[in-house]
Amino acid sequence: YFQGFDFSAAPATAFAPASVANVATGFDILGFAVNALGDHITVTRSATPGVRITGSSGVVSGIPRQPERNTAGRALQALNTAVKPAFGFDMHIHKGIPLGSGLGGSAASAVGAVVAANALLEREVPISAHYSLLENHAGFSRLPRKETRKPQLRDRDSWGFPSPVEL
């Protein structure tokens, strides 16, 4: 069925949902994704080396098209530098998260760009490596350092909080 199809020319699109990191006063350790809002980042292989933002659409117009001035562009540049593929990346950003909304739009675009590009690589980079690609990159200097971060994946039940139904 797919015989003769050039998968390397196919674009990859990642959906990155909005997020809320501060649920309520005193609960700033809780966060959640908002799947109703999100950015769609489409990345295509290019014969030209490097990273290009070919366009944008959605609820935000006029985002920077220079990769070094755009969080998605910077994230993709970090991946490109680390992996050194034999091709470049063209990226289209469809913003579903308004800028300045406090819903993590910049982070969503950055993560979406790296995840979409990852799907185009000859050998995918493990997802756990994406954070380390960004942590030493000048554009992401606010990320917590390895020494200070202590990630813990928790759900509502493991914290002992009541469900909305129980409330």
pTM: 0.73
Contact 94, 41 (CB under 8 A): yes
Highest mean pLDDT among 60-64, 145-149, 159-163: 60-64
The tens digit of pLDDT for each residue in 66-88 reads 999 999 999 999 899 988 999 99
Sequence-distant (≥ 6) Cβ neighbours of residue 49 within 8 angstroms: 87, 88
Sequence-distant (≥ 6) Cβ neighbours of residue 59 within 8 angstroms: 95, 96, 97, 98
**Distance (Å, rounded) from C-alpha 50 to C-alpha 65?**
14
Tell me how far the alpha carbon of residue 156 is from its chain's centroid.
24
CA proximity to 118, closest of 99, 104, 105, 131: 131
Contacts for 121-126: CB closer than 8 Å, 24+ residues apart = 121/83, 121/85, 122/85, 125/79, 125/82, 125/83
Tell me how far the alpha carbon of residue 16 is from its chain's centroid.
6
The tens digit of pLDDT for each residue in 88-147 reads 999 999 999 998 888 988 889 999 999 999 999 987 776 555 555 555 455 555 545 555
Gyration radius of the chain over CA positions: 18
